Structure 1
Amino acid sequence: MVKSTTIEEPFIDVKNILAEAVTYDYRNHSLIWVDILKGLVLRTFLDENDNHGEVHTYEVDKYVGLVGLTEDMNKVVTGTSKSIKVLDFNTGKIVTLADYPNGNVAENGWQLRTNDGSVDVDGNFWVGTICDPSCPEILDLGALYRLNKKDLKLEVAIDHVGIPNGINWRGGKMYWASSKEQIIYKTQLDEKTGLPIMSSQIPFVEVSNIFRDYSDKRCLKGEPDGSSFDEQGYLYSAVWGTNRVIKISPEGKLVEEFIFPDKGISCTTIGGRNMNQLFVTSGSNGGKPKGPDELTSGRIFKVDLGTAIKGMKKNLWKGPLSSELEED
């Protein structure tokens, strides 16, 4: 029997267009996320009861897709339309770490942008690219890159991907979502290079199978989006195009779903003082709500997972920061 939990009220009633990439920094108890279409990074600090304070907004660049924590609590690494940058929260200054090849323009001339990504256990920064909103459709033109912490070289890990998403690390494996395929994959990592061994890749979860008996047809078309693991190996994945987060067992089975009032659920992270609060972002359909039930999308939600659950702390980028680079 699948457990179902309904959340009725937002935690932070912000008016983002497409809130994404929610991240918790356990060192200073801050919650960070982006509004992709506005090019913003947002941050708030949580008190001892995990209530939020003022939301601070930082303008970064067009289509900022994610944030990665660094060894400096006041700096994050981000991916934008054409490059990977570092944002300094104290000064608001932004520097470029690396540019995408060919201006992040695909072979057919279409412009790409940053989507989701994360920092791996060794401190490298991984980031996916997809067609930006100017493209007439989403084709398999994107890639999953690794920014090497040592030399800032952008290495292609997986090529010809439509929508790479929800990148996580556990037990020597990389878990990542191919949203367009509605599949979360599990891929063994090479012990020497740290890159995925594509011959080992197998489906971990097929979202269309999970929802095949649902009467809500939107669920059948749901795409796995941003996700996070708890310490027990359960994966909490947002399902874009639906109002749900699904909790998946280590065996790849649906064990619980969380239902929200917003229809565009986009990303999850686990944080809070006891690392047992599930934070969830939402967004409207490309900034163009399809109906009244999407007008409130772009908010942040919080779910108490109970004392038995502990989230995994985020990995830190261990490469150069803005103090070692020239300012833009």
Structure 2
Amino acid sequence: MGQYPLHNVLEARARLGEGPMWDSTRKLLYWVDIYNHRVHQFNPATGENDFFDVGDVVGAIATAGKDKLIMLLRHHLAFLNTQTGEVTPILEIEGNLPDNRLNDGKYDPQGRFWFGSMCSLEKPQASLYCYETDGSLHVMETGLTISNGLGWSPDRKTFYLTDSPQQKIYAYDFNSVTGNITNRRIFVDLTHESFYPDGLTIDSEGHIWSAMWGGWCVIRFNPRGEEILRIKLPVQLPTSCAFGGDDLRTLYITTASVGLSQAEIDKSFYSGDLFALQTDVTGLPAYNFSELK
């Protein structure tokens, strides 16, 4: 498998582009610009990109029924009406931890919404949560720094979770029926590298594609955690990736420009833009909500 051709499909110049999510019903790619408080919807068929200003930092989004998204604000789980732009808070989370904010999230195979928080590096007090279909919230993991890139293997037996500052991707045994995770182990250890694993997605062959913050690349790992492909990018700060398109063979990659010096931007001119590449593998369709309250 060789290097895939890469295309800059949207010159967004986002501060912190993140959380790409393909809506197979509407044929749109949703993504966020965290610090600009925007939820974007990109139409690859027309090249048009619209956005909603949600009035707060926004870490992740997912579909939640017709004309509705569920999203992570700084300290709230909330709904966004994609017809009116109205934001409706659901739950306050970690409001007692002002240095924390909510970060990345996805649905599991049973329609539960999993998401994590991030904290200051001096205090590893971020957590991983599961919002159940009955509206209850459960803490699934603690002692994290930046709960990031999460996903499930095609056979639904393994759950993956990234802790970016620790430069590790963890694997857990996953019980799809109960939602329990056990037997945490290190899946990928990047402590020998100068960059950090960020958001991830998983293809139908069970390979993990992880965006490398500071690494100018996306890396594909096999189910044993071995690097098998490195996709080089023209930007320093890739943040996340997701498969989309009619055949789920297009890998969309979000990027960031936040914190870069002018000299770094000169070297990484397209920082914050949205990229896409056609692959010869199929991604997994995004799991859907299940009667979220």
TM-score by length of 2: 0.92
1:124 aligned residue: 112
Q: Does 1:168 align with 2:151?
A: yes
Structure 1 residues 237-246 or 294-303, which shifts more?
294-303
Q: Does 1:205 align with 2:188?
A: yes
1:94 aligned residue: 87
Q: Alignment identity in percent?
A: 24
**Residue 61 of structure 1 contacts residue 81 of structure 1 at CA under 8 Å; is this kept in 2?**
no
**Residue 29 of structure 2 contacts residue 43 of structure 2 at CA under 8 Å; is this kept in 1?**
yes
> Are residues 290 and 153 of structure 1, via their aligned partners in 2, closer, same or farther at CA, if it must alter by over 3 Å?
farther
Unaligned runs of 5+ residues in structure 1 are 213-219, 322-328
Q: Does 1:144 align with 2:128?
A: yes
**Residue 13 of structure 2 contacts residue 257 of structure 2 at CA under 8 Å; is this kept in 1?**
no
**Residue 227 of structure 1 contacts residue 267 of structure 1 at CA under 8 Å; is this kept in 2?**
yes
CA distance in 2, matches of 1:86, 1:66: 11
Letter in 1 for 2:13: K
> Are residues 288 and 194 of structure 1, via their aligned partners in 2, closer, same or farther at CA, if it must alter by over 3 Å?
farther
2:290 aligned residue: 318
1:70 aligned residue: 64
1:27 aligned residue: 25
Structure 1 residues 153-162 or 258-267, which shifts more?
153-162
Q: Does 1:188 align with 2:182?
A: no
CA distance in 2, matches of 1:99, 1:121: 25
> Are residues 114 and 287 of structure 1, via their aligned partners in 2, closer, same or farther at CA, if it must alter by over 3 Å?
farther
CA distance in 2, matches of 1:288, 1:39: 22
SS in 2 for 1:37: helix
2:208 aligned residue: 235
Per residue, is there more strand in 1 or in 2? Answer: 2
CA distance in 2, matches of 1:222, 1:116: 19
Q: Does 1:54 align with 2:48?
A: yes
Unaligned runs of 5+ residues in structure 2 are none
Q: Deviations over 1:52-86 (max 9, x none)?
A: 432111011321000112232x2110001110111
Per residue, is there more helix in 1 or in 2? Answer: 1
1:288 deviation in Å?
A: 6.0
CA RMSD of aligned residues (A): 2.0
**Residue 109 of structure 2 contacts residue 176 of structure 2 at CA under 8 Å; is this kept in 1?**
no
Q: Deviations over 1:262-287 (max 9, x none)?
A: 11000000111111001001002447
**Residue 17 of structure 1 contacts residue 287 of structure 1 at CA under 8 Å; is this kept in 2?**
no
> Are residues 230 and 87 of structure 1, via their aligned partners in 2, closer, same or farther at CA, if it must alter by over 3 Å?
same
Instruction: Compare CA radii of gyration and give the structure with the larger one.
Output: 1
**Residue 5 of structure 2 contacts residue 278 of structure 2 at CA under 8 Å; is this kept in 1?**
no
Letter in 1 for 2:14: N
Letter in 2 for 1:11: V
**Residue 4 of structure 2 contacts residue 277 of structure 2 at CA under 8 Å; is this kept in 1?**
no
**Residue 289 of structure 1 contacts residue 295 of structure 1 at CA under 8 Å; is this kept in 2?**
no
CA distance in 2, matches of 1:4, 1:191: 35
SS in 1 for 2:282: coil
Letter in 1 for 2:20: V
1:154 deviation in Å?
A: 2.1
Match of 2:239 among 262, 266, 288: 266
